[in-house]
Amino acid sequence: LTATAVAGARLGREFFARAPSEVARGLIGCSLVRDGVGGVIVETEAYAGNEPACHAFVGRTARTEVLFGAPGHAYVYLSYGIHHLFNVVTGEEGDAGAVLIRALEPRWGLDRMRSRRPGRPDPELCSGPGRLSLALGIGPADNRRDVCSGPIALHSPESAAADPVAGPRIGISKATELPWRFCATGSPWVSRAAG
DNA sequence: GCCAGGATCGTCT
DNA sequence: GACGATCCTGGCG
């Protein structure tokens, strides 16, 4: 088997200029690739500026400013002092929101992923937001980067996929009632089985 | 297989 | 000075 090129079109600014929950749902089945290394998105979460689980809920600060900015830019932040989590800013400028990419089905550049995560079996390469950042080499220097151009790219699906499964977001303590986690139906590559 | 606990640091009060 | 949008390890059964 040979890895094939990404088939779909690169997502443009307008794709991200919508409510975070719509973008999160729409990103399931799309691909995320950085410098030839990446895979198919199988798990996302939406965060909106008007609900307390979102970092932007506290308003504009040095860290959250990017969330209020133009859609289609990366928001990368340090979680628990250890892991860098990759998000894409959504909504019109001035309207804070983002989508956290939580898991990928690894597809391109597997050898580079494995060398970045020595000793890990393939199912653990990208099955979590911290894990996929390691596998793709995403770090703090990528914060605010435009994903509509440049080395981090998102592409539309090669073919239409089944509707994602929606459920509560993981690892948060506020606004847990919102069903804003989306998983590809039946995918074994998610960080946890979909509810 | 499951669960409890620890690592580690930027950001905000 | 407290708190995480997480991950890994080790103990136990």
**pLDDT value, residue A194:** 87
Q: Which nucleotides of B are covered by protein (CB under 7 A)?
A: 7-13
d(CA A20, CA A16): 8
Length of chain A in terms of residues written: 195
**pLDDT value, residue A161:** 80
Cβ A45 vs Cβ A170: under 8 Å:
yes
- Which residues does strand B reach (CB under 7 angstroms)? A 58, 61-64, 77-78, 80-82
**pLDDT value, residue A3:** 59
**pLDDT value, residue A112:** 98
**pLDDT value, residue A7:** 74
Query: Rg of chain A over CA atoms, in angstroms?
Result: 15
Query: Straight-line distance from CA A18 to C1' C13, in Å?
Result: 50
Low-confidence ranges of chain A (pLDDT < 50): none
**pLDDT value, residue A4:** 63
Cβ A23 vs Cβ A90: under 8 Å:
yes
Query: Straight-line distance from CA A129 to C1' B12, in Å?
Result: 23
Query: Straight-line distance from CA A118 to C1' B3, in Å?
Result: 25
d(CA A170, CA A152): 25
